[in-house]
Structures are given as C-alpha cells and as structure tokens.
Amino acid sequence: MLKVGIIGCGMIGKEHAKRLQYKIRDCEVVAVCDKFPESAKAASDLVGGVKIYDDAAALIADPEVDAVVVTTPGNLHKEPVLLSIKAGKPVFTEKPLTTTAADCKEIVDAEMASGRHLVQVGFMRRYDRGYRQVKELLESGKYGAPLIVKCTHRAEGVADDYTTEMAVTDTAIHEIDVLPWLIGEGEEWDEVQVIMPRNTKNAHEGLKDPQMMIMKTKSGVVCMVEVNVNCGFGYDINCEVVCEDGVVNLPCPSFPTVRSNFEVSTAIEKNWILRFIDSYDVELQDWVDNVQKGTTGGSSAWDGYAAALTADALVAAQKSGRIEKVVTGGVPEFYK
Ligand code: ISE
C-alpha cells in the first residue's frame, strides 16, 4: 500500500485526494498540507480524517509518507518538489512543473544529482484514451509520417485574472507537452510563432484572445493551436494529424445525439475537469503502480523543463510577433 501525502488542498488537490483515497488501487492518503487551515481540514475530511500539516517540509519528512503529490499553484511547485527529491521520495506534481524554465532546470539538476527518477509531471493528456488511440495509429506507420497537426483548445470563458501569457503557460502548455509525444519518438520543438487574430468581443479588458500558436518540430512537423478561451459554447479540444497517407483525428467525448424540434444536436463538454476526468484516474493509477515497481511513466522533469522553455519562447513570440527558437541543449542521457 503506497502511503501518500498531498501538498496543496485547492480544487485539484481535493479532487486528487478523493481519487487517490477511493479510486486508485494500493494507495492511501495519510496526510494533507495547506497554508490555509480550512482548506487542509476540508481535504482531510474528504478522505476520512488524516494528519494535517501547514508546512510542506514537515509533511515530506513524515516517515509515514512514502510519496508526495504536489497540487499547489504552479509558481509554488519548486520547493516541495526539491524537498521530495532531497528526501528520496517519489513526487507527482500537477502541471506545469514550475512556471519558469530556470526553476524547472533546478529540479532537473537535483533529480539527476540524486541518480533516481523521482519526479512525474501531471500532463494528463498522455493518459487520455483518445490521444493514446491516435498515438497507436500513428505508430502503426499505416498512414506515413505526420506532416501537419491542427488543434483547437477552446474554453467557454475564463476568469478576469486570466492573462495573455496564461494562454501559453496554463492552457497551450498541454499541447506543448502532448504533441511531441503524440507524433513520434524523440520529437522536439524547434521554433514557434504567435499570430493574433482580431480580438473577440467576449474577452475581458487586456486579454488577447483568440491566439494562433504555430510550432514546428526539429523534424519539420508544423503544429497549429487555436487557443480560444472565450468561445462561449463549451470546452472543445480537437487534434487532427495530417500524415502522408491519411488523416487521424482525436475522437471527441461521446454524447447522445438528440433529434428534436427539427434539429439534431450533440453536447460539448463543459470544462476541462469533466473532459479529462478519466485521464486523471489512469494517470494517477499509473503513477502509483510505477512508484511501487520503482519504474517511471508519464512526463518527466525533463519534459516539464522542455515544456517551460517552449512556453518561454511562445511568450516571447506573443510580444515580438517574430519566430522564436526553442533551445533545450538536447535531452541528457539520464532522461533518454
Ligand atoms: C487548466 O489548468 C487545465 O489544465 C486545462 O486543461 C486547461 O484547458 C485550462 O486552460 C487550464 O487552466
């Protein structure tokens, strides 16, 4: 039985606490931590009453805690992840690894120095059934090499504190991670560009929305991501891979088709929690299974670092309007 401590008891922290306690096999939540006592208490109550900490270091040091889940805000991931590595405890951190490439590099260096693969980053789309079906078809070679990928990352609307940069660092970060994994072994981003269409009337003051992000891999595959977070009609994730001998499309979530009042209609998912709810289950079960076997899965700290470098280039491209290069220095042997 893997005994897990959870640091960060906001919405996703509580979701993962319930998931780990009641859905995931061979796992038990034994401690939670949050600087807000009421959040920590609420999370503890959700899992039947467990130890409560207000200090991440104390939870990580708890001898009963075998492994750590970090679900604080992205800019607060670095310290608990580094402390977990120092304690030699496997750590699953929600995306992004951290919000700056420099902080990600500090984690990569610490993990390499430890000599152990302890970090997994919570890019759940790699566990989504639809993305895995697309990957399997591409790997079959039946449709030839991928050439172009066309994605939409649409949301009904966002809060007023959502910024132009977050369209990259919080939203498109998922395509930044999943697309190289999807289109082929060893794929890496090479250069990126952002083109701003006319702004939607639905965007709040100061937010550039929608945004067209164009990213090219070192092997020459061109990926276009429409980030459109005020579409007003739902959470609409699409991915079309155009190959030499065919086109492979990400399946949409299945909803009933309704015929009524001279119309045919099919629902669209409402939000990201619902759209990827099953992927989180598969992802965390895989993490627990891997930790217990001493193996790894999903996105590594290096993947998190590469995603942060790519995000930095896209944010630079938002400002410059020019094509920006993504320079990672190449994957270290430790992560190959
Ligand atoms: C959120 O954190 C996610 O991970 C969703 O997948 C993404 O669509 C959303 O923009 C993020 O805020």
- The pLDDT profile of the chain, 336 residues, written as one tens digit per residue, is 999 999 999 999 999 999 999 999 999 999 999 999 999 999 999 999 999 999 999 999 999 999 999 999 999 999 999 999 999 999 999 999 999 999 999 999 999 999 999 999 999 999 999 999 999 999 999 999 999 999 999 999 999 999 999 999 999 999 999 999 999 988 999 999 999 999 999 999 999 999 999 999 999 999 999 999 999 999 999 999 999 999 999 999 889 999 999 999 999 999 998 899 999 999 999 999 999 999 999 999 999 999 999 999 999 999 999 999 999 988 999 999
Q: What is the rounded radius of gyration, in angstroms, for the C-alpha atoms of the chain?
A: 20
| CA–CA separation, 9 and 195 (whole Å) | 37
For ligand 1, what atom is nearest to the CA of residue 153?
8
Task: Give distance in angstroms: CA of 87 to centre of ligand 1.
Answer: 30
Ligand 1 contacts (CB < 6 A) are: 155, 170-171, 174, 272
Q: How far is the CA of 213 from the centre of ligand 1 (A)?
A: 16
Classify residue 10 as exposed, middle or buried by CB count within 10 Å of its CB (0-12, 13-18, 19+): middle
Q: How far is the CA of 281 from the centre of ligand 1 (A)?
A: 17
d(CA 331, CA 303): 9
Within a 10 A sphere around the Cβ of 13, how many other Cβ atoms? 24
DSSP letters along 197-250, please?
-SPPTTSPTT---SEEEEEEETT--EEEEEEETT-SS--EEEEEEEETTEEEEP
Question: CA–CA separation, 266 vs 251, rounded Å?
Answer: 14
Q: Tell the residue nearest (CA) to atom 2 of ligand 1.
A: 170
Q: How many CB atoms lie within 10 A of CB 28?
A: 16
CA distance 119 to 292: 14
Please give the number of the atom of ligand 1 that sits closest to the Cα of 171. Answer: 10
Best mutation site among 15, 162, 169, 272 for ligand 1 pocket (most ligand atoms within 8 Å of CB): 272
Helix (H/G/I), strand (E/B), else coil: 268? coil
Burial 98-120 (b: 16+ CB within 10 A, else e): bbbbebbbbbbebbbeeeebbbb
Structure tokens at 4: 């897990």
Give the angle 227-230-233 at the CA atoms, nearest 5°. Answer: 105
Which atom of ligand 1 is nearest the CA belonging to 174? 6
Q: What is the pTM of this model?
A: 0.95
